[in-house]
Amino acid sequence: MESTSEALFGISEQRLTKMRRYRKLKDQVAARLISVGGISVIFAICLIFFYLLYEVLPLFLPASIKQTHSLDQYTLSQPYFSVVEEQGQVGLAVTAAAGPVFYRVADGQTLLTPELPTATAITAFAKDSPGSRAYALGLADGSVLIQKPEYKIQYGDSPLDKTVVPRIEYPLGTTPIQVLNGEPITQLAYRESDDLVRIVAADSAGHLFLKDFAKTESFLSDEVQLEEQTTLKLPQPSGALTNILLSLDQRWLFLVEAKGKVEVLDLRNPVAEMRVHIANVVENGTEITVSDFLLGGFSLLIGDSKGRISQWFITQDETNQTVLTNVRTLTLKDGVAVTALQTEHRRKGFIAGDAQGYIGLFNTTADRRVARKQVADSPIQWIAMAPRGDLAIVNSEQGGPVSYHLDNEHPDVSWSSLWSKVWYERYDEPSFTWQSSSASNDFEPKFSLMPLTFGTLKAAFYAMLVAVPLAICGAIYTAYFMAPALRTKVKPAIELMEAMPTVILGFLAGLWLAPLIEANLAGVTAILLLTPLFCLIAAFSWSRLPRDISTRVPDGYVPVILIPVVVLAGVISMWLSEPMELAFFGGSMRDWVSNDLGIDFDQRNSVVVGLAMGFAVIPTIFSITEDAIFAVPKGLTQGSLALGATPWQTLVRVVLPTASPGIFSALMIGLGRAVGETMIVLMATGNTPIMDMNIFEGMRTLSANIAVEMPEAEVNSTHFRILFLSGLVLFIFTFLVNTTAEVVRQRLREKYGSL
Amino acid sequence: MNSIKLWFRKGEPWVWLNAGAVAISVVMVVGLLLLVAVRGLSHFWPHTIIEATYTEPEGGSYTVIGEISDEEWVAASRVRSAGVDIPEDVRVVQRVLIKTGNRDITGLDFRWLLEENLTDVHTPEQVMVVERREWGNFYGYLQAVKEDGQVVASGEQALPALEQRLERALDLHDEIKEIEQGRIGSINYELEQLRLRERRLELNGELDAAAQQNLKAERAALDDRYQALKSELDQLYQAIARDSMVATAMNGEEKEIPLKLVVQYKQPNNMSFFAKVGDYFHQLWLFLSDEPREANTEGGVFPAIFGTVLMVILMSVIVTPFGVVAAVYLREYAKQGPLTRTIRVAVNNLAGVPSIVYGVFGLGFFVYFLGGSLDALFYPEAAPAPVFGTPGLLWASITLALLTLPVVIVATEEGLTRIPKSLREGSLALGATKFETITKVILPMSSPAMMTGLILAIARAAGEVAPLMLVGVVKLAPTLPLDGNFPYLHLERKFMHLGFHIYDVGFQSPNVEAARPLVYATAALLVVVIVVLNLTAIMIRNRLREKYRSLEN
């Protein structure tokens, strides 16, 4: 035999065996690789899903509070206020005994005790917004001293080696401003705007005085000149005050009284009408223990002796009365008095401590307690927070000050803030709102996905309204009635429709169709009515035609006859548009809609989106439906026809029920496409996130929102992750829809296979 | 009456309504194609320039020179609310939109005028449109040509002089562009590479005196080259600023236009039909080969075409092997069962996931995750500026490859299904292994199917915009991703794209009215490309089906 292989191939048996082995190996390796390649498709879709999930997950991870070290060398008495600077190296405590004192966060050692320009005792304290860092000291002689901590960073050898050098500045000069006449100040409120300094002070008898100073900066130096403008004696509060708070816009003065009441003064009114509302902010038998502004100087936070912290702000009620409204209440630990409260510098959140040594992180927009931890057994006395919100120093009565690292990246997101109504600041009621960014620093981001989801479904609804009848009717005719020769022409034409880039559809919708519809609203409405009517008239006339003419067009060529009819209907409608608008709508139907019917009308509205996106969805639904109907076994239809049913009866009773799963899956896939479509909605709507079913208004969809905001979102910020979340929502929605459709289709294929 | 009832009972009307749906769909497709084609392609035709006297409704009149670009009937109430005085009994008025150009003289380059107030409309032969690099078109009459501020030709001689001097100015302009973008561009590129090399040496602790000396020498050499080019450039700038033309605008103002700002001029009213045809193709060519000007609202779309093509090529290189392997696995290797069913579900889902989700995924995973890691590993010297950690050509191509993967898989699988079983069996019976059967028999036979898939994928990628907005497309890329600087193909660069160009110019541009014809032209170009690609794919597929049908019999 050996000689045969030699003789046949000119190769020895040994080499042949080797070659065979090599070929086998190659075959096996290829089989493996190809299998891996095939399965990698599943891997790809999983990768997309899990990556999106990985980006979204941090939003829902709980925050953590970790102890880092205790400040052993801290020796100061209870401060009015304590804060940590940006770098987390230096702390500032403002005490009654020594005024401002800087200490090292690492060990609590005092770094600097700036000398005060006056020897008068400090009796009261008030702070401005965290952004300005300034605060006011009320003195025993009735004067007020404004101070501001400044920090300079000195770099060592490497950029990481930083030392923070603190100092105290006097933005309004070192001379105290006289507010009361020689009496000690017991309560103080202070706000500074670009041109006005407003100070409210209470004396020991509880009388309140307001002083305004106009600020003028001299051109040559940075020095500020103050000019006294007004002095007012404010209405007498009804009880003993524990705190007075002046809102950031310098309009509202809140008098917090020990008995659980807050009086609201509107400083724009004359003195006699200033008191606009008195609110009971805690339950009977409960006392106010802490009070402060949330970031933005608009919302009041009231902590009580039962462990609750409630948020209040000014709203207008139904009778346009100004009322202080309880917006939400959060609980640190039920029944345990809140003893310390510190608001975050850059977010609508705060940290609170209670009498049992619990501390909790809260966020008001998300309406939730983000984290809670018991850090001591004795009452928490004060808390200092760093501007970045990642460091807090908590002092308990027995434990002394301890520094904590806060891992709290996304406190402002919760299930309720994404999907339910949220009562945002400056709103008169809870609402669904999407507003992700603004120019102001103390802006409350509004991340409700509801308007976007609603917009997505609204756009998809109108698109399906246009696409479903056209696509399904068209598919029925093409698959069941149309002549085969014509079918091979029509199918590619409609497939071409699918290939049309959506950016072109969107561009035409936005720049051509939208103005056209606005100018010819009557004509467009007429098209909707006239086209089917003309088709029916054509059908009837055709059936009346003499036989020898009507049979000249073979069966299954009806659309060719109807094309001129449809064009005619369109032309007549547009031609009638102008006279109709003149005759019935006073020249412009668009004005008639917005003025007489009172319906808001945007140029780029749902009609435009429905038509353009309907156009994009028609081919998807059409081709799958057509396939499903065409795949219905011929035996079934022939049987039905043989039994005497008309073609239409056969279609309705036999073909459609058999093909219905296929049609269902076509609808699903069409819906998936409409939901995820981006460019058309981006270009054909005004992209306003409103929740209104009005057909003449636009919407903002999830996908368009991603396209608009993603390039501007800061990487890994809450906004960035929420955009990923909307991507994930789209993914999951289309995944469910497509999987359902595919499973139904596979079932259908098996069923037909057996027929 | 009875006959109508019978007619209804037979279901005839419903059949006709269904047929109507087909007719509507076809009318919509054809109408859309016609709309884009007519609007897009008519842009290049030299339009007649009219001169007329316009009487303002408030009284007063002036001369208008310009092109009519739109006409419409509007309700008088709308015009009235815009502050135009119209008699009470008039209910509709006809308005014309006239492109008057001369933005630098009159402030606005388009104006809506009432048709009936336009009188004495005529088309003078001498009126001229001048396309400029700044301030858009100029419409008016040529008066004289100047050299260094001195009139050298006027009246009849002005036109030939202008033609000759403009040619010189255009040559000089090309030369300046070549130096600025080509040679000085590459010097800048090399300087940047030098800086990165220095930084890399510094990071590795190898920046000793010798290396510094070396770098300094190289830098000095580059600087010398730059200085030489700079002086050459200065001379060219002086030369190009020599000539100018003087023309009168519609308000009678004499305007001096330096020839360095002129792209071209023409007197469309004076052109014969054949001259117009010639001009039409010339304009078309300029559109395809020129770079955009004036915030993309004028000029051509060459960088966008180039970027689209390059991105599509890269995408094809990536998607084809993956798509074919997956299809071969599904059809030839896998046992039909739960696994293949899952894969099919996955393929359908890949096809159904909204394209913007691919963009989000591409931005997060490819750009920030992979690109960020690549930067940290290989380009520490560029920090903090990202190299691959920012949207760019490579990531756009990969993202779109993922997006078009199902298209290739489905088309290839269809081709594989159609290959008769007997061919496989024949090959196996002759002793070929399975792999050999696939590579030598099956794949060559199904290559047209793969081609179909690839063409459809290309058509999809060329028209897709939403994901590209996130992973690498920009409105104006300063440099092409392919140039003469090593390594020639710059995968990390951002690029321009036809589809995004349409979105950007149509919706983000400061002067939408002026940009509109260009957007239509770009749209027409994109539609032509996509229709041709799709028709080719359909043709190949049909031919393939015929071929196998004959094989089976």
Query: Would you state the pLDDT for residue B419?
Result: 86
Closest CA to A190 of A218, A226, A216: A226
Closest Cβ–Cβ partner in B343, B464, B503 for A507: B503
Q: Tell me how crowded residue B318 is: count the other CB atoms within 10 A of its CB.
A: 18
The upper half-sphere exposure of residue A141, i.e. CA atoms within 13 Å in the direction of its Cβ, equals 10
Q: What are the residue boundaries of the structural domains of chain B, listed by start?
A: 50-123, 138-273, 306-552
Mapping DSSP to helix (H, G, I), strand (E, B) and coil, where does residue A292 land?
Answer: strand
Q: Does A678 touch chain B (CB under 8 A)?
A: yes
Q: Which residue has the higher pLDDT, A378 or B155?
A: A378
- A472: chain B residues, CB-CB within 8 Å: 21
CB–CB contact A490 B22 (8 Å): yes
CB–CB contact B460 A499 (8 Å): yes
Closest Cβ–Cβ partner in A478, A540, A567 for B27: A567
Alpha carbon distance A241, A236 (integer Å): 11
Alpha carbon distance B373, B367 (integer Å): 9
Closest Cβ–Cβ partner in B402, B435, B469 for A44: B402
Listed range (A340-344, A382-386, A597-601) with the worst mean pLDDT = A597-601
Alpha carbon distance A696, A691 (integer Å): 13
How big is chain A, counted in residues?
755
Query: Would you state the pLDDT for residue B483?
Result: 84
- A494: chain B residues, CB-CB within 8 Å: 25-26, 29
- pLDDT, tens only, A91-129: 999 999 888 999 999 989 999 999 888 888 999 999 988
- pLDDT, tens only, A50-91: 999 999 999 988 899 999 999 988 888 889 999 999 888 999
Which residues in chain A (454-473) have CB-CB distances under 8 A to chain B? Answer: 469-473
Query: Would you state the pLDDT for residue B72?
Result: 79
- B351: chain A residues, CB-CB within 8 Å: 738
Dig out the tokens for A16 from the structure: 């042949």
Closest Cβ–Cβ partner in A473, A588, A723 for B360: A723
Alpha carbon distance A374, B51 (integer Å): 86
Element housing B122 (H / E): strand B118-122
- In which region does residue B140 sit, left (phi positive, over 0), alpha (psi from -120 to 50) or beta (all else)? left
State how far residue B482 is from chain A, nearest Cα, in angstroms. 25
Dig out the tokens for A229 from the structure: 């403008």
Mean pLDDT of A652-679: 91
Helices and strands (DSSP H and E) totals, chain B: 19, 13
Alpha carbon distance B81, B239 (integer Å): 53
State how far residue A368 is from chain B, nearest Cα, in angstroms. 29
Interface test with B, best of A21, A504, A668 (most B CBs within 10 A): A504
Dig out the tokens for B486 from the structure: 């090593």
Q: Does B112 touch chain A (CB under 8 A)?
A: no
Dig out the tokens for A351 from the structure: 């940290």
CB–CB contact B344 A648 (8 Å): no
Element housing A550 (H / E): helix A547-550
CB–CB contact B535 A492 (8 Å): yes
CB–CB contact A679 B360 (8 Å): no
In contact, B90 and B77? CB cutoff 8 Å: no
Element housing B18 (H / E): helix B12-41
Class of the CATH domain delimited by B306-552 = mainly alpha
DSSP states of B405-436 as a string? HHHHHHHHHHHHHHS-HHHHHHHHHTT--HHH
A329: Cα separation from own chain's centroid: 23
- A471: chain B residues, CB-CB within 8 Å: 21, 25
Closest CA to A502 of A674, A621, A702, A678: A678
Which residues in chain A (10-39) have CB-CB distances under 8 A to chain B? Answer: 23-24, 26-27, 30-31, 33-35, 37-39
Nearest residue of A to residue B461 by CA position?
A501
Alpha carbon distance A121, B86 (integer Å): 78
CB–CB contact B20 A531 (8 Å): yes
CB pairs under 8 A between A and B: 346
Query: Would you state the pLDDT for residue A587?
Result: 72
Predicted confidence pLDDT, tens digits, chain B (553 residues): 577 788 787 788 888 999 999 999 999 999 999 999 999 988 899 989 999 998 887 778 888 899 888 887 777 777 777 777 777 777 778 888 888 888 888 878 888 888 888 888 889 888 999 999 888 889 999 989 998 888 888 888 888 889 999 999 999 999 999 898 888 888 999 998 888 888 888 888 888 888 889 889 999 999 999 999 999 999 999 999 889 999 998 888 888 899 999 989 989 998 899 999 999 999 999 999 988 888 788 888 999 999 999 999 999 999 999 999 999 999 989 888 888 888 988 998 899 999 999 999 999 999 999 999 999 998 888 878 888 999 999 999 999 999 999 999 999 998 898 888 888 999 999 999 999 999 999 998 888 888 889 988 998 898 899 999 999 898 888 888 888 887 888 989 999 999 999 999 988 887 777 788 889 999 999 999 999 988 888 888 888 778 777 766 5
Interface test with B, best of A604, A679, A717, A743 (most B CBs within 10 A): A679
State how far residue B214 is from chain A, nearest Cα, in angstroms. 27
- B507: chain A residues, CB-CB within 8 Å: 507, 510, 683
- B365: chain A residues, CB-CB within 8 Å: 47, 51
- pLDDT, tens only, A489-503: 888 888 888 888 999
Mapping DSSP to helix (H, G, I), strand (E, B) and coil, where does residue A648 land?
Answer: helix
Q: Tell me how crowded residue B37 is: count the other CB atoms within 10 A of its CB.
A: 16
Mean pLDDT of A38-44: 90
DSSP states of A193-225 as a string? -SSEEEEEEE-TT--EEEEEEEEEE-SSSS-EE
State how far residue B312 is from chain A, nearest Cα, in angstroms. 15
- B332: chain A residues, CB-CB within 8 Å: 34
Mean pLDDT of A130-134: 86
Helices (H), B334-420: 338-352, 355-361, 372-378, 393-418
Query: Would you state the pLDDT for residue A3?
Result: 53
State how far residue B68 is from chain A, nearest Cα, in angstroms. 18
- B328: chain A residues, CB-CB within 8 Å: 34, 37-38
- pLDDT, tens only, A539-592: 888 888 888 887 888 888 889 889 999 999 999 998 888 888 888 887 778 888
- pLDDT, tens only, A722-736: 999 999 999 999 999
Name the β-bridge partners of B265.
B130
In contact, A709 and A645? CB cutoff 8 Å: no
State how far residue A574 is from chain B, nearest Cα, in angstroms. 12
In contact, A167 and A155? CB cutoff 8 Å: no
ipTM: 0.91
A356: Cα separation from own chain's centroid: 37
Closest Cβ–Cβ partner in B28, B92, B460 for A578: B92
Which residues in chain A (154-183) have CB-CB distances under 8 A to chain B? Answer: none
Closest CA to B359 of A454, A688, A723: A723
In contact, B354 and A677? CB cutoff 8 Å: yes
Alpha carbon distance B282, B265 (integer Å): 13
Alpha carbon distance A580, A283 (integer Å): 66
State how far residue A463 is from chain B, nearest Cα, in angstroms. 15
CB–CB contact B526 A501 (8 Å): yes
Q: Which residue has the higher pLDDT, A598 or A187?
A: A187
Alpha carbon distance A1, A3 (integer Å): 5
Alpha carbon distance A56, B353 (integer Å): 18
CB–CB contact B456 A499 (8 Å): yes
DSSP B438: I
Which residue in the block uniquely carries the two structure tokens 């490819």?
B366
Helices (H), A351-441: 415-419
Alpha carbon distance A668, B524 (integer Å): 32
Q: Phi and psi at residue A77, in whole multiples of 5°? A: -80, 175
B272 to each of B94, B212, B277, how far by Cα in Å? 31, 67, 9
- A723: chain B residues, CB-CB within 8 Å: 360
A1 pLDDT above the threshold of 50: no
In contact, A124 and A186? CB cutoff 8 Å: yes
CB–CB contact A727 B35 (8 Å): no
Closest CA to A450 of A418, A496, A474, A494: A418
Query: Would you state the pLDDT for residue A359?
Result: 94
Q: Pairing relation of β-strands A162-169 and A391-396?
A: unpaired
Nearest residue of A to residue B330 by CA position?
A38
CB–CB contact A563 B434 (8 Å): no
Closest CA to B266 of B98, B144, B139, B124: B139
Q: What are the residue boundaries of the structural domains of chain A, listed by start?
A: 2-60, 456-698+730-754
- pLDDT, tens only, A213-272: 998 877 666 678 888 888 888 888 888 889 999 999 899 999 998 888 899 999 998 888
A651 to each of A477, A655, A656, how far by Cα in Å? 10, 5, 6
- A543: chain B residues, CB-CB within 8 Å: 7, 12
